Amino acid sequence: MREALALALASALGIVPLAIPEDSCQVEDVSLTWGFKESFRSYVSGSIARGSWEVSGDVGYETPHFTFRGGKGYVTADRAEGSAEFVGGIVFSGHEGILETSLQNPELVVTGTRVATLVVDVTGDTMEEVSVNRQDVHFATVTWARNDENVIASEGVWSVDDAQVLLTQEGSDAFGTYPAGEVMDPMSFRLEVAPGCFDDGGIWWVPAGAAAVAVGASALALAIQRGRRSRGQERP
């Protein structure tokens, strides 16, 4: 998204066209929690690898989750497109330095309704002894169900709990050991934009509201008609 802001600035200066969709909400606050992969954390910190991990920048660690905070970005009002980009990352180390894998500058890119991609820069050697130094690796696909998300449009809050995270082929190539489709730890995030900027899923209530008005109007007309009839009957 810093890239997007740079683009916006460049666009304002008339250098390049603006890439951010018009109906976008700027991310005012974002926090994300993700354990990466529990079995990997216990492998790294256990008796086989005898290692640890270090975090930096926007990334912290509170057992058992990595936390990404203070990212920058935008999301469209319908939440089907957007990005939250963080600086800093995680470095896993073990096996007395043979394992030294770095995942930096995570970016959660919302690519559709209830689907996102986690993009990271990866460096290190895989267990298969392939040296990797790749930017913008589309590392994992993040998906969630309608029930896993909560939108409070009036407060500009969008939260998703326990989204499913699956390693992509690119992620597998860069990280090694795990195949594409490997289930990583679930991810949760909470994102804040200006109050009222998000759509409130209002599509359903417009017809529902119209139907309610129509039903109310018919009931009123019926009541008036009956009233008239009964007054008519009272007449001698």
Which member of 18, 23, 28, 39 binds ligand HEM (CB under 6 A)? 39
Please identify, among the stretches 57-65, 107-115, 172-180, 191-199, the one whose residues bind ligand HEM according to the rule CB under 6 A.
172-180
Binding mask 1-30 for ligand HEM (x = CB under 6 A): ------------------------------
Which member of 40, 53, 86, 139 binds ligand HEM (CB under 6 A)? 40
Residue 125 touching ligand HEM (CB under 6 A)? yes
The answer to whether residues 193 and 153 touch, using CB atoms and an 8 Å cutoff, is no
Which member of 127, 130, 145, 219 binds ligand HEM (CB under 6 A)? 127
Please identify, among the stretches 39-47, 62-70, 72-80, 196-204, the one whose residues bind ligand HEM according to the rule CB under 6 A.
39-47
Residue 43 touching ligand HEM (CB under 6 A)? yes
In the complex, the smallest distance separating the C-beta of residue 96 from ligand HEM, rounded to whole angstroms, is 8
Which member of 101, 104, 105, 117 binds ligand HEM (CB under 6 A)? 101
Distance separating alpha carbons of residues 131 and 135, to the nearest angstrom: 13
The answer to whether residues 192 and 29 touch, using CB atoms and an 8 Å cutoff, is yes
Nearer to ligand HEM, 127 or 217 (CB): 127
Helix then strand count (H, E) for the chain reads 4, 14
Residue 61 touching ligand HEM (CB under 6 A)? no
Which member of 126, 141, 168, 172 binds ligand HEM (CB under 6 A)? 126
The answer to whether residues 149 and 160 touch, using CB atoms and an 8 Å cutoff, is yes
* Residues near 106 by beta carbon (within 8 Å), at least 6 away in sequence: 59, 68, 85, 86, 89, 118, 119, 120
Distance separating alpha carbons of residues 156 and 77, to the nearest angstrom: 10
Neighbours of 85 (CB within 10 A): 22
The answer to whether residues 159 and 191 touch, using CB atoms and an 8 Å cutoff, is yes
Residue 186 touching ligand HEM (CB under 6 A)? no
Q: Look at residue 140 and give its three-state secondary structure.
A: strand
CA dihedral 121, 60, 64, 120 (to 10 degrees): -10
Nearer to ligand HEM, 36 or 189 (CB): 36
Phi, psi angle pair for 50, to nearest 5°: 45, 50
Residue 35 touching ligand HEM (CB under 6 A)? no
In the complex, the smallest distance separating the C-beta of residue 106 from ligand HEM, rounded to whole angstroms, is 17
Q: Choose among 68, 72, 69, 78: nearest CA to 158.
A: 78
Binding site for ligand HEM (CB under 6 A): 37, 39-40, 43, 48, 95, 98-99, 101, 125-127, 176-178
